[in-house]
Amino acid sequence: MQKHMVFNGILERGMVGIVRADSSDAALQIAEACIAGGITALEVAFTTPDTLGVLRTLRERHGHDVLLGAGTVLDTETARAAILAGAQFIISPGVNVETITLCQRYQVLSMPGAMTPTEIVTALQAGADIVKVFPAEMFGPAYIKALRAPLPQAPLMPTGGVTVENLPEWFASGAVAVGIGSSLSGPGATGDYAAVTARAQAFVAQMAAVRMAKSLSQ
């Protein structure tokens, strides 16, 4: 799948579910629970054991029906390994210019984490496709709106603190997508994968409502 198709796919879905677990088996079950609930863009964090194996397994099972990325990528070596394992986008907690460059070399979506205007501009100048605003819960949706004033061209994806209840606020503030962590996958830590699916369904329903409200206002 070409990079522009992955980019458009993330914008269309509007949500990236973060998969982070204490074992590869738990990660796979959390991922499958998210997919069953309708969230089909997933980031597998490299703090998960055998992240590469999880990426390969999910790619084999779902092909291109699921947009699959690697998260918590700190360097080019990790990014390259993730790409070879099937990652279509690379997400980092900070701005690593060399990793962004590698992603552009292989035409894989680059989504570095940033918080300040300086970091965001640095990421964009290096070739970032989407900037993950992290940790977004520190300042809330109002911060996204404030960033958009001087940087209207910046595609921002707040991550951290996104819930079903505040989802509309993030998009009203100018987010192009959101990253969703524990508010989605939290029950997976205790093996309650049915609850993960239920939460995914709730997010998907809320996203549909956000889209509907936007279309009616235009």
The catalytic residues are 43, 132
Preceding peptide of 117 cis, ω within 30°: no
Rounded Cα gap, residues 45 and 170, in angstroms: 23
CA distances 213 to 149, 185, 209, Å, are 23, 26, 6
Query: What DSSP character marks residue 15?
Result: E
Give the position of tokens 């329903």: 205
Q: What is the four-CA torsion angle of 113, 38, 168, 202, rounded to 10 degrees?
A: -120
Q: To which H or E segment does residue 202 belong?
A: helix 193-217
- Which of these, 211, 182, 208, 187, lies nearest to 197 by C-alpha position? 187
8 Å CB contact between 107 and 83: no
